[in-house]
Amino acid sequence: MLCDATDDVDTRAITCRLRQDGSLIGVLSTDNSITDEELLKMSRSWDIVGIDLISGVSCQTVHEWVDKTKQEWDFSSGGSGETFHVVAYDFGIKHNILKRLASYGCKITVIPSTWPTTETLKMNPDGVLFSNGPGDPSVVPYAVETVKKILGKVPVFGICMGHQLLGQALGGKTFKMKFGHHGGNHPVRNLRTGHVEISAQYHLEASLGPHDSDYAFGEFIELMKQQKTKKLEKKISTWNQNGFHVPFQRLLHGFQNLFL
């Protein structure tokens, strides 16, 4: 797409072209000294297919995240009464994802996209988040390998890029859609429940709304809660095998906060 920003733009023509050819690389310029030929060259020199864009947007150091969704914008989280340690791989993560997790009662450690799996597991997380991010998941094999090594170890949650990486780690293939998901009113059917949710390109990433899919954070919390309970049951089973005969439920109640 070529146009001078000061000129009228035929958006109908642009829409028809995109509908016919799919998503295209475009250039907008306010610099009249740049020729059309130069703008064309710029547009043809850039693409998102086959390029690792994650490494340029990921954080470079490990850090903690504590900010929650502001009260006037919060909805439905309420927290679970427990604190869960979530390690979040930053593939270009949006802050509102972290805010939603914090609002659900999570302690969050954000790590770079190339952070070694062994170091991640040493942090003893209750769950791992694979975040959103730009670009083509098929050209970041290091990220796919990271997901493979963590699957089955702790509960995981993938959003956008992270979701695609999970798919590849489990043997699936990804490809760039002709149009993709753009806008704020796309109906998506949840095949598990049959419910139709109104979704937006920027949610769950940015949390602005609609909020139909916010329950996914709650499901992640529930997975971590179940995993904690299983770990505690295993510890208590080991105690009983070693000669301790205190009733299970009393142990679960009395030592829950100590070991969780």
Q: What 3-state DSSP class applies to 149?
A: helix
Among residues 171, 151, 143, 177, the alpha carbon closest in space to that of 22 is found at 177
Rg, the chain, Cα only: 23
How does DSSP assign 166-230, residue by residue? HHHHTT------SS---SS-EEEE-TTT--EEEEBTTBTTT--S--TTTHHHHHHHHHHHHHHHH
Q: What are phi and psi of 36, to 5 degrees?
A: -60, -40
Please tell me the distance from the alpha carbon of residue 66 to that of residue 136, in angstroms, as a whole number. Answer: 30
Determine whether 160 is an active site residue: yes
Catalytic residue among 203, 211, 219, 245: 203
Catalytic residue among 205, 211, 222, 233: 205
Q: What is the DSSP letter of 248?
A: H
Token couple for 34: 């740049």
Catalytic residue among 82, 160, 186, 195: 160
How does DSSP assign 95-127, residue by residue? HHHHHHHHHTTEEEEEEETT--HHHHHHT--SE
Determine whether 211 is an active site residue: no
Determine whether 145 is an active site residue: no
**Which residues are the active-site residues?**
160, 203, 205
